[in-house]
Amino acid sequence: MANNQIITITDLHLYYGKVEALKGINMSIARNEVTSFIGPSGCGKSTLLRCINRMNDLIDNCVVQGNIYINGIHGLDGNIYDKNVDINALRKHIGMVFQKPNVFPMSIYDNIAFGPRTHGVKKRSDLDIIVEDSLKKAGIWNETKDNLKKSAVSLSGGQQQRICIARALAVQPKVLLMDEPTSALDPLSTATIEELCENLKEQYTIVIVTHNMQQATRISDKTAFFLLGEILEFGTTEQVFQTPRNIQCENYITGRFG
């Protein structure tokens, strides 16, 4: 595995009962880059995203075959579908942000401190540092520093989503999976999160599912086009959006179908 590839997926198949949702996915995701997954609804992009931290394990009748190798994350190197993999450690290193902000009904501070506490950080001063650092990285420190005891539920949608990002960052992940993180947000909040992605990729690897083609072009280094459970095109975002090689990809991104 090349050193700059943090995730390598080989011959990955996923079945929901008898339905094959992913049909032999092969791809590598580069470290410190933003990779976008695009494609029409039901094509398998969120399913693949969830495979990367084994979220699909929680779904009945879901069977995954194939391998997802992690490279360069201490204690996690190897195939994440091996039997002895510690799922908690996996999800600590590979965090996830969902479509709708899902803050916990507790204070901003406790939302961010929740993960570190679960992983054994008890000292208040350590937690203070983690909370401040995470909120700063998520670009919401200035808005919340004077109201850390305020309920996170009372924040706006855009702020809640950044709290979710801060919460994911608090356990110091290496990879951040984002499943349509801005689809429920207004343009200003969307712009803030997109700018955040640009800043975060210096330290993290980001994989994002998006239905917004302009968002994919704005923020991602690489783009993968999915259709009916397969990746039909994967390349630099510039290449995919300027000179796509696959005609179905071109038809989709230019709005000719989908």
Partner 1 sequence: MFRSKFQTELDGINFDLIELGRVVNSVIQDCVHSLANNDLELSQQVIEIGHETKAQVEKIEERALKAMLMQQPVARDMRFITTALKVVSNMDRISRQAREICHIVSDLHEMDYKFDAELLKTMGEHAIDMVQNCIESFANLDIDLATKVKHQDDIMDNYFKELKLQMIERIKNKEENADSALYFMMIGKYLEKIGDNSEAIANWTSYCKSGKK
Binding of partner 1 by 253 (CB under 8 A):
yes
What is the nearest approach in angstroms of partner 1 to the Cβ of residue 14? 29
| Comparison of 87 and 247: residue with beta carbon closer to partner 1 | 247
Is 255 a binder of partner 1 (CB under 8 A)?
yes
Closest CB to partner 1 among 74 and 257?
Answer: 257
C-alpha dihedral, 166 to 174 to 52 to 70, nearest 10°: -170
256 binds partner 1 (CB under 8 A): yes
Decide: 48 and 39 in contact? Cβ < 8 Å.
no
Residues binding partner 1: number (CB under 8 A): 12
The separation between the first and the last C-alpha atoms of the chain, rounded to the nearest angstrom, is 35
In the 8-state DSSP scheme, what is residue 71?
Answer: -
Closest CB to partner 1 among residues 174, 218: 218
* Residue 78, phi-psi category: left (phi > 0), alpha (psi -120 to 50), beta (remainder): left
- 29 Cβ contact list (under 8 Å, min separation 6): 5, 6, 7, 8, 9, 35, 175, 205, 207, 222
What is the footprint of partner 1 within residues 202-231 (CB under 8 A)? 213-214, 217
Which residue of 115, 158, 173, 244 would you call a contact of partner 1, by CB under 8 A? 244
Interacting residue ranges for partner 1, rule: CB under 8 A: 213-214, 217, 241-244, 250, 253-256
